[in-house]
Chain A
């Protein structure tokens, strides 16, 4: 992935994205089918008499099971909606890294410990106003996202070199990994943008 699309925050899980696509597609098809059916009825395609028929003729006997079924359908729709809502809050942020899980005990590193340390280190780099970090992926293959707000008083390329060279090398050393895929976003303050020629 490259280009501007790669800069969109990748915080939602692929599962949530897939759920959204499926639910929206199903909803769209249902509404389309309902709309087409009502349109055909109204235009009299399914018989002229039906077009003028009331939906519920007054005094018509409704079978006894109608209202329980309507109620159950309502509950089902509510449950599905609640599930869909919960899925939205699922992000791929990694709360803790399991570094070791052996018989003698396990070692867990809180994700916040790592991101706080990284933020402190990046904020100590000259030219950085603020930094925020978060982790995603899995314990075995963590990914790091760094957002760095610059003061505009230092060369962004130099900041980038220091962050990727020194700070990320420290992170790899701390985690004892050879590679730690990282996305670094540099934010230049408004008004001090300059051409990087």
Chain B
């Protein structure tokens, strides 16, 4: 009662930021997955996939109404990687603006795999 507690950072603000980061990450991952030829890439440990490869992995930071986003994804071989990345960047920025009212100041794209599409035009010999 008599001791004065040290001034805590505003807990409400901190809590809200964490949730917003995660929410933005999910929004951005969904937006990136909508782009043609862009898929997720499984995280690899010692060369073995250990995570769900369906969705791009996203980390995001929100400052006020601005977001910086990093997207890890795979691009289907042999699609032009730079073009797909540009479309992902545009789509993520668009979705964040529409759905969260955030301005994506920076969307970094890291392409971690170029998986070959399951090509039906190359039939296996029976």
Binding site for B on A (CB under 8 A): 99-100, 103-110, 113-114, 116-117, 120-121, 124, 170-171, 173-176
**A175 and B81: CB pair below 8 A?**
yes
Closest Cβ neighbor of A103 among chain B residues:
B106
Q: Which residues of B, 81-126, contact A by the 8 Å Cβ criterion?
A: 81-83, 85-86, 89, 93, 104-116, 122
**B89 and A174: CB pair below 8 A?**
no
B112 shortest CB reach to chain A, Å: 5
Which single member of B86, B89, B109, B113 contacts A108 (CB below 8 Å)?
Answer: B109
B residues less than 8 Å from A100 (CB atoms): 82, 85-86
B residues less than 8 Å from A174 (CB atoms): 75, 77-81, 114
User: What's the Cα separation between A114 and B110 when bound, in Å?
Assistant: 12
B residues less than 8 Å from A175 (CB atoms): 80-82
User: What's the Cα separation between A174 and B80 when bound, in Å?
Assistant: 4
B40 shortest CB reach to chain A, Å: 13
**A104 and B106: CB pair below 8 A?**
yes
Given contacts A108-B108, A108-B109, A113-B112, is CB(A99)–CB(B85) below 8 Å?
yes
Contact-size category for B? 20 to 34
Instruction: Please name 16 further chain A to chain B contacts, defined as beta carbons within 8 Å, in addition to the given A104-B105, A110-B111, A170-B77, sorted by A numbering.
Output: A100-B85, A107-B108, A107-B109, A109-B81, A109-B110, A110-B113, A113-B41, A113-B114, A117-B113, A171-B78, A174-B78, A175-B80, A175-B82, A176-B80, A176-B82, A176-B83
User: What's the Cα separation between A107 and B80 when bound, in Å?
Assistant: 12
User: What's the Cα separation between A117 and B81 when bound, in Å?
Assistant: 13
User: What's the Cα separation between A113 and B112 when bound, in Å?
Assistant: 5
Closest Cβ neighbor of A166 among chain B residues:
B78
Given contacts A105-B108, A110-B112, A113-B112, is CB(A99)–CB(B81) below 8 Å?
yes
B residues less than 8 Å from A173 (CB atoms): 78-80
**B110 and A108: CB pair below 8 A?**
yes
Q: Mask for B46-85, Cβ within 8 A of A = 1, else 0?
A: 0000000000000000000000010000110111111101
A residues less than 8 Å from B106 (CB atoms): 103-105
**B113 and A116: CB pair below 8 A?**
yes
Instruction: Provide a sorted-by-A list of 30 A–B residue pairs whose CB atoms are within 8 angstroms.
Output: A99-B85, A100-B85, A104-B104, A105-B107, A105-B109, A106-B109, A107-B81, A107-B82, A107-B85, A107-B86, A107-B110, A108-B110, A109-B110, A109-B111, A110-B111, A110-B113, A113-B41, A113-B113, A117-B78, A117-B113, A117-B116, A120-B116, A121-B77, A121-B116, A173-B78, A174-B78, A174-B79, A175-B81, A176-B81, A176-B83
